[in-house]
Structure 1
Amino acid sequence: MVVPLQLSPIQDGIPAWNAWRRQNPDSLPDLSGANFARQELREIDLSLSFLRNADLSQVDFCLANLEEANLDGAEMSECAMYTANLRYASLKESNLTQADLVEASMVGADLSLAVLQRARLDRADLTDACLYTTNLRQASLSNVILIRADMREVDLTMADLREADLREANMSFAVCSLSKFVGATFCKANLYRANLSLANLCVANLMGANLYKASLIGANMISANLYMSDMRFANMAQVDLREACLRIANLTGANLTGANLGMANLTEATLYRANLAGANLYQANIHQANLDGANLTGATMPDGRKHP
């Protein structure tokens, strides 16, 4: 049963509200369009509630229960939601600019088209969440869990995702230029045509990842694990792959002009028709690598000699 705002006891305080929710488990409070700006709603139970287009800016929602709540189009800038429960909540087109979502549970949440610019999501759990075209520019997402998340066309420009878990995430067409992914895990992630130019992927694990036609211009991939990854036709000009693992990786047609592959492991890698002009392969392991048709003009070979 949907209960409109004027009939609900929310004005009587959080304990009374939560007691009413327990006594009326079938109620679905409709607080759409309500103005709760700057209020303290810590530990409130708003699960299954309708809060569409509500003004929740600067609200204290720490420890609150918003599971399966509808927050589409809500104004939630600078909202405090530390450890809040937002599992399977709908936040489509909501504004969460500079919101604090540290350690929030957001499994299965829908954040498509939402704005989370400069928001804090460190250690938050976004497993199976939808972040389609979400704006996360300059957001802090260190140690965040994004397993199997739908991140198509997400904007992560200058975002911090150190040690993030992005296993099997769909990041096709994602914009991640200048982002930090140090120590992040991308095992079997889909990064088709993603823009990772100038991103820091030092010691990141991209084993089995799809980087087909991705842009990695000038990226830092020192000691990255790219075992069995698909980098066909990727633009990797000036990329730093020193000591990286590229065993059995597919780099067919990839642009590696000026790339630094010093001491990289390219055992059994496919570099068919790859452009390695001016690349550094000094002390790289190219045992059984396929270099048929590759352009090695001016490249420094594993033995230190310059290719003509």
Structure 2
Amino acid sequence: MDAQELLSRYEAGERQFSRVNLIKVCLTEAKLIGINLMGAELIGADLRGVDLTEAHLNQAKLNQASLADADMIEACLIGAEMVGVDLTGSDLTEADLSGADLRGAKLGGADLKRANLGKTDLTGADLRGADLSGANLKLANLSGADLDGAYLGKADLTGAVIQGANIRNAGMSGALMPDGTVHN
């Protein structure tokens, strides 16, 4: 399937595109609200500025995709493969990324308020300036992640791995730390 076919079928009212192959597809600025791309192959796709609000991308393969400045509010990305993905400046408010693989992802300036990042692998991820207020980071792996200037107010980091993470200048007021204590 190519970009034009997907957009035509979406405009005709179709929303079910599970397991489609869209490797290296270009869908910049597309409005795909509520689309179902569960298990889809979007490796290397150009999705800059796309609107995937309330989209279903469980188990999707988004490795090396560009989703900079995308709207993914309340999107479901459970178990998605997102190694090296660019989510710079994206809005992932209340998105469910539990169990996702975000190793080496670029999330600088991303809005992750109240997002579910439980058991997510964020090893080496760039989260500089990201807003993670109220986010669930239980059992997340943040080893080597850069959280310089990120805001983690009231985030839940219970059981999270943060060895080697840069948390310099991170706002952590009220955050529940890996050992269960509340950061003041």
Residue 98 and residue 229 in structure 1: after superposition, are their counterparts in 2 closer, same or farther (change >3 A)?
closer
The TM-score normalised by the length of structure 1 is 0.57
30, 49, 58: which is aligned to 1:158? 49
Shift of 1:222: 0.1
Shift of 1:103: 6.5
Number of the residue aligned with 1:281 = 172
1:230 aligns with 2:111: no
Take 1:157 and 1:215, find their aligned partners in 2: how far apart are those partners? 13
Number of the residue aligned with 1:171 = 62
Question: Among the aligned pairs, what percent are the same residue?
Answer: 31
Number of the residue aligned with 1:244 = 135
Opposite residue 247 of structure 1, the aligned amino acid is K
Take 1:98 and 1:208, find their aligned partners in 2: how far apart are those partners? 27
Q: Which sections of structure 2, spanning at least 5 residues, go unmatched?
A: none
Greater relative contact order (Cα < 8 A, sep 6+) = 2
Q: Is the 8 A contact 2:161 2:178 kept in 1?
A: no
Q: Is the 8 A contact 2:24 2:46 kept in 1?
A: yes
Question: How many residue pairs align between the two structures?
Answer: 183
Number of the residue aligned with 2:33 = 142
Residue 163 and residue 133 in structure 1: after superposition, are their counterparts in 2 closer, same or farther (change >3 A)?
same
Secondary structure in 1 matching 2:9: coil
Take 1:274 and 1:245, find their aligned partners in 2: how far apart are those partners? 17
Q: Which sections of structure 1, spanning at least 5 residues, go unmatched?
A: 1-90, 105-121, 290-300, 304-308
Secondary structure in 2 matching 1:96: helix
1:302 aligns with 2:183: yes
Q: Is the 8 A contact 1:234 1:255 kept in 2?
A: yes
Residue 123 and residue 185 in structure 1: after superposition, are their counterparts in 2 closer, same or farther (change >3 A)?
farther
The TM-score normalised by the length of structure 2 is 0.94
Residue 255 and residue 98 in structure 1: after superposition, are their counterparts in 2 closer, same or farther (change >3 A)?
same
Q: Is the 8 A contact 1:192 1:210 kept in 2?
A: yes
Residue 275 and residue 154 in structure 1: after superposition, are their counterparts in 2 closer, same or farther (change >3 A)?
same
Residue 140 and residue 275 in structure 1: after superposition, are their counterparts in 2 closer, same or farther (change >3 A)?
same
Q: Is the 8 A contact 2:23 2:41 kept in 1?
A: yes
Opposite residue 246 of structure 1, the aligned amino acid is L
Shift of 1:98: 10
Shift of 1:124: 1.6
C-alpha distance after superposition, 1:213-258 (max 9, x if no partner)? 0000000000000000000000000000000000000000000000
Take 2:176 and 2:6, find their aligned partners in 1: how far apart are those partners? 46
Residue 123 and residue 226 in structure 1: after superposition, are their counterparts in 2 closer, same or farther (change >3 A)?
farther
1:96 aligns with 2:96: no
Number of the residue aligned with 2:91 = 200
Residue 128 and residue 253 in structure 1: after superposition, are their counterparts in 2 closer, same or farther (change >3 A)?
same
Secondary structure in 2 matching 1:141: coil
Take 1:246 and 1:137, find their aligned partners in 2: how far apart are those partners? 30
Take 1:97 and 1:221, find their aligned partners in 2: how far apart are those partners? 31
1:212 aligns with 2:120: no
Superposition pairs of residues 68-83 of structure 1, within 5 angstroms: none
Number of the residue aligned with 1:254 = 145
Q: Is the 8 A contact 1:123 1:143 kept in 2?
A: no
